[in-house]
Chains A and B, each alone.
Chain A
Amino acid sequence: MALLEIDDLHVGFPAGGRMVEVVRGLTLRLDAGQALGLVGESGSGKSQTALAVMSLLRKPLRVTRGSIRLEGQELVGAPEATLRHFRGGAMSIVFQDAMAGLNPVFPIGTQLMDVLAAHRGLTGRAARAVAVEALEMVGIREPAARLGHYPHQFSGGMRQRVLIAMAIACRPKLLIADEPTTALDVTVQAQIVELLHELRQKLGLALLFITHNLDLMAEICDRAIVLYGGRMMEEAPIGPLFEAPLHPYGRALLDCVPRLADEPGALHPIEGAAPTPGRLGEACPFAPRCGLALPRCAEEAPPELAFGPRRAACWRLVP
Chain B
Amino acid sequence: MAALLARLFGSLGVLVAVSLVLFALIHANPVSPARVVLGNDASEEDIAEFNAERGLDRPVAAQYLAWAGAALRGEFGRSLVDDTAITRTIAQTMPVTLELVLWAFLVALAVALPLGIVSALYEDRWVDHLARALATIGVSIPGFWLGLMLIAWGAVGLGWFPAGGYVSWEMGAWPHLRAMVLPALALGLYYVAIISRMTRSAMGDVMLAEHVRVSRAMGLGRGRLMVYTLRNALPPVITVAAMSFGYMFGWALIVEQVFTLPGMSRALLNAIFRRDYIMILDIVLIITAIFLLANLIADALHRLVDPRVAR
Contacts and interface: CB of A to CB of B under 8 A. Distances in A.
Contacts of B213: 56, 95
Contact of A101 (B214, B220, B232, B234): B214
A83 B218 CA distance: 10
Contacts of A89: 219
A83 B213 CA distance: 14
Interface in B189-205: none
A105 interface: yes
Interface string B200-226: 000000000111111111111100100
Contacts, number: 77
Nearest to B208: A58
B216 A100 contact: no
B305 interface: yes
A106 B227 CA distance: 11
B199 to A, nearest CB: 16
A296 interface: no
A22 interface: no
B211 A101 contact: yes
B209 A100 contact: yes
Nearest to A83: B219
A118 B216 contact: no
B307 A104 contact: yes
B220 A114 contact: yes
A167 B220 CA distance: 12
B212 to A, nearest CB: 8
Contact of B307 (A95, A101, A111, A152): A152
Contacts of A105: 231-232, 234, 305-308
Contact of A56 (B216, B221, B308): B216
A211 interface: no
A220 B113 CA distance: 49
Q: How large is the interface on B (under 10, 10 to 19, 20 to 34, 35 or more residues)?
A: 20 to 34
A118 B308 contact: no
A98 to B, nearest CB: 9
Interface in B173-199: none
Contacts of A259: none
A103 interface: yes
Contact of B214 (A83, A86, A95): A95
Contacts of B67: none
Contacts of B23: none
B210 A56 contact: no
A172 to B, nearest CB: 10
A104 B209 CA distance: 11
B209 A119 contact: no
Given A103-B212, A111-B215, A166-B218, 17 more contacts: A56-B216, A84-B219, A88-B217, A95-B210, A100-B210, A101-B210, A103-B211, A104-B308, A105-B231, A105-B232, A105-B305, A114-B218, A114-B220, A115-B218, A119-B219, A150-B308, A167-B218
6 contacts: A86-B219, A103-B214, A114-B218, A115-B220, A150-B307, A166-B218
